[in-house]
Structure formats: C-alpha cells, structure tokens
C-alpha cells in the first residue's frame, strides 16, 4: 500500500459546486488543501485513501462553494447603516452622508467600520470585497486583521475631505499605500475615481495614466441615476459613458458600478470595450435608481459581478440576497422565467467578480491550483428542505444564516457560524459607541 501524501486539510461535503465547469455538481466529493491551495478535488473515499490530512472536516449535509466576491462596497459605511433611509440618491449624499462623513470619518472610523463589515461579510460567505472609501490604509489594516481578501480602492474626488486636500493628494496617498502592500497575497488595488459628477477630465487623465502604468482596474460609479445622466448632458453635452469613452477610460480594466440606465448602443459599446460591471440590485432598488439590465450585458459576454454597495444604502452586506434579487429581477424584466438561472447567479457572485478584479487565476472557483477560498452552506434545515437541486437552493432558498464554515486561502475564519479572527461582541460594542457619538454630534 502506497503511503498517503501529507496535506493540511480535507473537507468532505455532500455536494461540491466548483463553478468551473459551469453547472457541475459533485456528489460525495472532497476538497484537499495544501499550503493554502486546492490540491485536489476527488471522491471522498479516494481522498482519504490517498492523503493524510492534519485536519479533516466532514460536512455531510452541506454544499461547498467558492468564496463569494463582493464586487462593490464601501465597507466602513456599515457604521452608517440606517442613518438616512428612504431618500433619493443625491439628497441622501449631499444632505446626510457627505455631512456625516465630514464630521466623523477618520482612520479610527474606517478601521472599526471595515472590521464590522468584514465580520458581517465573512459570516455570510463573502471572502473577498472590492472597496472604495476614504482612509484606505485603515481598511487594509481591518481586512488583514479579519484574514479577508480585499481589493482596495485608491479613491479620488475633486473636492477636499478630511482624508485629502486635492486630487493629487488623494492619488499620492493611494499610490503610496499600494506600493507598501503590493505583494501581499490577500490584497489587490484599484484606481477608484468616485463618479463622473465628482471627478474632472483632468483628474480622469491622471487616473488613466496610473491605471495603465500599474495595470490595475479602475472602479467607478457610472450611469446610476437619471439625474446623473441629465446633469452630464447639461455640463458636458454627452452622457457619462460617452464622456469616459472620449477620455479613453473604457476598457477591460474598467469596473463600472450600477450601470442602471443604458441604451442598446451603450450596451454594445461596453461589450466592445470589454468592460466589467458590478450589479448592485438591492441598493439600486432602495434608492429607486432603477433596474440594471444584466441579461443584456451577460448576453454580450460582459462579465457582470454582484455587489452589495455600502450598508448605508442597502442595508445588508448579503450576496445571497443579491443573487436572489438579480435572478428574480432579470426574469421580470424579460418576461421569461428561464432568464438568469441559478447557476448563472452563482457565477456572478463568484467567478465573474474575480474576473472583473483580474483575480480569476487565484479565486472564484474551486479548481486545483487556486487559493482555497471556500464556503460551506448547510442545506439540512427545515427552511431549505427538501433539496432537489443544491444550486437552485443557493440562489432561491438558502440564506447567509446557513453558512457554517468559511476558509480564506485554506485558513478557517468562520467555524460553526462563529468568527475566528474577529470578536463579534467587541465589534457590536464599537458600533454602538460610534452610533452614540454620531447621534450626539448631530443633535448638538
């Protein structure tokens, strides 16, 4: 008998849904992890005959899936959850969010808010998030403390904030942070111009230059509301997408967030330029921005991932909810129930997000050689019984509360629903202190 090969971890699951190949469901298989990576994917009996693991985890009623990728969020804004609800976007921003940020946002706020967000996301199966916010160095510290994978936005706007004085100050601080952490395996960086209505042509030119030199994505809000489109036509004579196209901003490295209002010509332009899209259905609905046409985008071969946006406009960092909403809204929009099936919604929440970030060689699917970012979802409860199709259940029946185990690069970060890298009680306590501080300042 051949000696068994030593490995770090074997996870047995009733179902493994690797996402690649599409639609595949493996029954009674195991993932073998070695040095933080998927070493093998094979029937459980073979796995235990061939490998000797330092740890074995048996999940007999679970689906094992790749870690979910939250393609757009403002993690620190979790501390503003529920602060200003039921308002239009620009009223919400100009009269509530931006003033609160001016008064309260500092490195401590961003660190505490991002840790709170990381705790929520990890317990909901999100192992990677694409962030855009001020004081990104504090977001880096929080993500690494959580043991979470993050794409950090080097944010820039054309007006001063407590974080930076002018566009060059934003860019210099972001680039210095990126240089400091550029080789960390859990981090990537994106240029993050906030939106066409907050960034000038001159600043966009600098962003494009740096993005091309550094080969990093550009992460931007785009075509979110009809007001944005109207104001762009009034100021620049063209819609925002046409303006960015003229500036040379469109291309495979662009992650366009929202993209709710698109003509067919604009869909074709995005497809031709091979841009990626972050679809945020809950936020778009809550702010009454509209419904993005993901089916038209997907049919053109455009990678469409899913984002939660910030908890101030959602109010949840829950990609199970976004999968369900994306699928249901697509069916209503097209009048065809077969539109955006469950397996495609799961692809949007995993592999498509990884592709948009240029991280698909590392994450987004359970394939030998990739990082072992994995999520176990318990499908044994009353609320999800019986199970005919586990992929369908992940989109339409299961919730983030069914997540029991999460690994990032093979490291356990959630076990039996409990956070291993963060103290949930301490996070809640800090959130309460920030609430009291914000309410007290706003009342004075």
How many CB atoms sit inside 10 A of residue 369's CB?
9
Structure tokens that stand for 111 in this block: 């660190």
Q: Mean pLDDT lowest for which of 82-91, 210-219, 328-337, 406-415?
A: 82-91
| pLDDT (0 to 100) of residue 444 | 61
Q: How confident is the model at residue 43 (pLDDT cuts 50, 70, 90)?
A: very high
CA 115 → CA 3, 127, 155, 282, 331, distances in Å?
A: 43, 13, 19, 22, 35
Residue 53's DSSP bridge partners are 7
| pLDDT (0 to 100) of residue 426 | 98
| Cis peptide, bond prior to residue 365, ω within 30 of zero | no
pLDDT at 87 over 90: no
Quick one: DSSP state of residue 409?
Answer: T
Cα 416 from Cα 199, distance rounded (Å): 45
| pLDDT (0 to 100) of residue 441 | 76
Cα 435 from Cα 441, distance rounded (Å): 10
Average pLDDT over residues 181-201: 98
Whole-prediction pTM value?
A: 0.97
pLDDT at 443 over 70: no
Structure tokens that stand for 90 in this block: 């620009």
Structure tokens that stand for 378 in this block: 């318990």
Residue by residue, DSSP assigns 279-329 as E-HHHHHHTT-----HHHHHHTT--EEE----TTSSS---HHHHHHHHHHH
Pairing of strands 149-156, 187-193: parallel
Cα 70 from Cα 331, distance rounded (Å): 22
pLDDT at 442 over 90: no
pLDDT at 81 over 80: yes
Q: Are 163 and 105 in contact (CB under 8 A)?
A: yes
Q: pLDDT for 252-302, tens place per residue? A: 999 999 999 999 999 999 999 999 999 999 999 999 999 877 778 888 888
Cα 195 from Cα 98, distance rounded (Å): 14
Four-point Cα dihedral 176, 177, 179, 184, nearest 10: 170
Q: Are 20 and 367 in contact (CB under 8 A)?
A: yes
| pLDDT (0 to 100) of residue 299 | 83
| pLDDT (0 to 100) of residue 1 | 61
CA atoms in the 13 A half-sphere facing the CB of 355: 21
Q: pLDDT for 221-236, tens place per residue? A: 999 999 999 999 999 9
Q: pLDDT for 123-159, tens place per residue? A: 999 999 999 999 999 999 999 999 999 999 999 999 9
CA 279 → CA 125, 143, 323, 353, 417, distances in Å?
A: 18, 23, 10, 10, 27
Cα 127 from Cα 150, distance rounded (Å): 8
pLDDT, mean over the chain: 96
Q: Are 77 and 311 in contact (CB under 8 A)?
A: yes
Cα 362 from Cα 85, distance rounded (Å): 37
CATH fold, domain 68-356, is TIM Barrel (3.20.20)
Instruction: Give percent of the chain with pLDDT exceeding 70.
Output: 99
Structure tokens that stand for 242 in this block: 């046409």
The full set of domain ranges for the chain reads: 5-66+364-409, 68-356
Domains 5-66+364-409 and 68-356 fall in the same CATH topology: no
CATH class of the domain comprising 5-66+364-409:
mainly beta
């Amino acid at each position: 008998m051949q000696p068994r090969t030593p490995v770090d971890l074997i996870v047995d699951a009733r179902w493994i849904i690797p996402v690649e190949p599409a639609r595949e469901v493996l029954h009674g298989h195991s993932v073998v992890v070695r040095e933080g990576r998927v070493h093998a994917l094979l029937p459980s009996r073979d796995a235990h005959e061939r490998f000797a693991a330092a740890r074995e985890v048996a999940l007999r009623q679970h689906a094992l899936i790749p870690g979910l990728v939250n393609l757009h969020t403002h993690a620190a804004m979790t501390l503003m959850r529920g602060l200003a609800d039921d308002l239009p976007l620009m009223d919400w921003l100009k009269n509530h969010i931006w003033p609160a940020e001016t008064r309260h946002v500092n490195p401590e706020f961003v660190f505490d808010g991002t840790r709170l967000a990381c705790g929520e996301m990890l317990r909901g199966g999100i192992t990677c998030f694409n962030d855009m916010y001020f004081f990104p160095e504090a977001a880096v510290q929080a993500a690494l403390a959580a043991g979470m994978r993050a794409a950090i936005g080097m944010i820039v706007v054309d007006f001063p904030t407590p974080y930076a004085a002018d566009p060059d100050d934003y860019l210099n601080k972001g680039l210095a942070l990126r240089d400091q952490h550029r080789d960390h395996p859990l981090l990537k960086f994106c240029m993050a111009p906030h939106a066409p209505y907050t960034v000038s042509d001159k600043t966009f030119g600098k962003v494009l230059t740096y993005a091309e030199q550094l080969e990093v994505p550009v992460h931007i809000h785009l075509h979110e509301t009809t007001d944005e489109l109207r104001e762009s036509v009034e100021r620049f004579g063209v819609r925002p997408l046409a303006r960015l196209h003229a500036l040379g901003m469109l291309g495979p490295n662009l992650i366009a967030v929202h993209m709710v209002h698109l003509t067919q010509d604009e869909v074709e332009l995005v497809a031709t330029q091979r841009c990626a899209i972050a679809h945020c259905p809950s936020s778009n609905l809550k702010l009454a921005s509209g419904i993005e046409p993901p089916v038209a985008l997907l049919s053109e071969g455009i990678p469409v991932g899913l984002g939660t946006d910030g908890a101030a406009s959602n109010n949840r960092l829950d990609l199970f909810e976004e999968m369900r909403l994306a699928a249901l809204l697509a069916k209503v929009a097209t009048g065809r129930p077969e539109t955006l099936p469950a397996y495609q919604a799961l692809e949007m929440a995993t592999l498509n997000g990884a592709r948009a970030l240029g991280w698909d060689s590392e994450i987004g699917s359970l394939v030998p050689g990739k990082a072992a970012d994995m999520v176990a979802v318990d499908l044994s409860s009353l609320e999800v019984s019986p199970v005919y199709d586990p992929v369908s259940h992940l989109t339409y029946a299961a919730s983030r509360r069914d997540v029991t185990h999460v690994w990032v690069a093979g490291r356990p970060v959630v076990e039996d629903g409990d956070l291993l890298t963060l103290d949930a009680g301490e996070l809640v306590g800090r959130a309460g202190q920030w609430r009291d501080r914000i309410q007290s300042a706003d009342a004075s």
